Amino acid sequence: MNVAEISESAVRRVLETVIDPATGKNVVAAGMVGGIATRAGHVAITLDVDPARGAALEPLRQACEQAVRAMPDVLSATAVMTSERAAPAAPSAPLATPARPHGHGPAAKTTGGTGRIDVPGVKHIIAVASGKGGVGKSTTAVNLALGLAANGISTGLLDADIYGPSMPRMLGVKEKPESTDGKMLKPIERYGIRTMSIGYIVAEDTPMIWRGPMVSSALEQMLRDVQWGELDVLVVDMPPGTGDAQLTLAQRVALSGAVIVSTPQDIALIDARKGLAMFRKVAVPVLGIVENMSYFLCPKCGERSEIFGHGGARDEAAKLEVPFLGEIPLHLDIRTTSDSGHPIVVSQPDSAHAQAYKNIAGRVWKQLSAPQRGARPAPKIVMR
């Protein structure tokens, strides 16, 4: 079924008809509409509200939903109230256990001065990023993490893509993470790696509307309040794009480096360059670029077609003086395995594709383990 796209401006016009009885102003004019997101007939709205009015605004919230739901082609409408002004530092997030640390195992900490989040016990945190969505960032992050593990490196994977968490699907995780002490969550082990995703905690059909500070808070908690234990590498699958949320994450987390995933199309490379600029701005070493969907490999005849002009990322990497980590073809097996919870590195470990991911993982590890590049300075020992 084709669903007509609903424009943000059409939603806004409808919201202009919803009047707040307390002020006599419509919600748009009153500056209450914080954000509107539409996707395939589903509309999500955030309403910035004065916390003092709290529950009194519930009828207004419902009126917004009803008005939008009555629009042609709208399948669902969800309005949520946020009151960022009241609690800018700790907005409600699914893992709400901010107090730290009192000896619950390896709690992450913010190191003094720079405000950077470090996870004790984890030697290297690396980000997998892309300039835009749909380029195969998550597929690369999963197979890279499994490729590191296949190389004998103890690895964790944090799905930081809280707008569209993909780890439940890609790793076939259905269970919820457990907590032994009501404070720290145990990561879910899959295929020999420790994993955590907001998708393990929040049901898939729950609308998730995040604002900048909430994103950082949820991510910090997923680093802090998860018993990652001792790891050589924690791979962080970043939210797609290079907006404020990504920049904050790149700034706040003590990253050893970043891997940028790009398709060969020029347009994607422009986006990839933005990713590169973002990490450079915050002095995070870029470990290299992966060209995903590099060329098409026909699953029937094995013929190779360079439909997207293969090689763009390699050339671009050379121009930008960042390492080129490798290319992954567009192949049905990569999609079906990762979309069915059995990523190719573990389900077809001897295939050429699995080998390509393992080689990329090897190149990443080589940089991380080289003393002069990528590695973070050794942690300071504080005597008390």
List interacting residues with ligand ADP (CB under 6 A): 130, 133-139, 166, 240, 292-293, 328, 330-331, 334-335, 338-339
Task: Using CB positions, name the residue nearest to ligand ADP.
Answer: 136
SS3 state at 289: strand
Q: Indicate the residue among 171 and 293 with the shorter CB distance to ligand ADP.
A: 293
Q: Indicate the residue among 227 and 337 with the shorter CB distance to ligand ADP.
A: 337
- Nearest approach, Cβ of 142 to ligand ADP (angstroms)? 8
Contacts (Cβ under 8 Å, ≥6 apart) of 378: none
Q: Indicate the residue among 107 and 144 with the shorter CB distance to ligand ADP.
A: 144
What's the helix, strand, coil split of the chain in %, to 5? 30, 25, 45
Q: Indicate the residue among 130 and 195 with the shorter CB distance to ligand ADP.
A: 130
Please give the distance of CA 128 from its chain centroid, rounded to a whole number. Answer: 9
- Nearest approach, Cβ of 376 to ligand ADP (angstroms)? 26
Contact 215/239 with Cβ under 8 angstroms?
yes
Question: 66-89 burial, b if ≥16 CB within 10 A, otherwise e?
Answer: ebbeeeeebeebbbbbbbbeeeee
What is the spatial distance between Cα 154 and Cα 257, in angstroms, rounded to a whole number? 17
- Nearest approach, Cβ of 233 to ligand ADP (angstroms)? 19
- Nearest approach, Cβ of 161 to ligand ADP (angstroms)? 7
- Nearest approach, Cβ of 130 to ligand ADP (angstroms)? 5
SS3 state at 322: coil
- Nearest approach, Cβ of 140 to ligand ADP (angstroms)? 7
Q: Which of 257, 142, 258 is nearest to 192 (CA)?
A: 142
Q: Indicate the residue among 97 and 355 with the shorter CB distance to ligand ADP.
A: 355
Please give the distance of CA 83 from its chain centroid, rounded to a whole number. Answer: 24
Q: Indicate the residue among 46 and 338 with the shorter CB distance to ligand ADP.
A: 338
Contacts (Cβ under 8 Å, ≥6 apart) of 283: none
Q: Indicate the residue among 64 and 297 with the shorter CB distance to ligand ADP.
A: 297
Question: 216-226 burial, b if ≥16 CB within 10 A, otherwise e?
Answer: bbbbbbbbbbb
- Nearest approach, Cβ of 342 to ligand ADP (angstroms)? 12
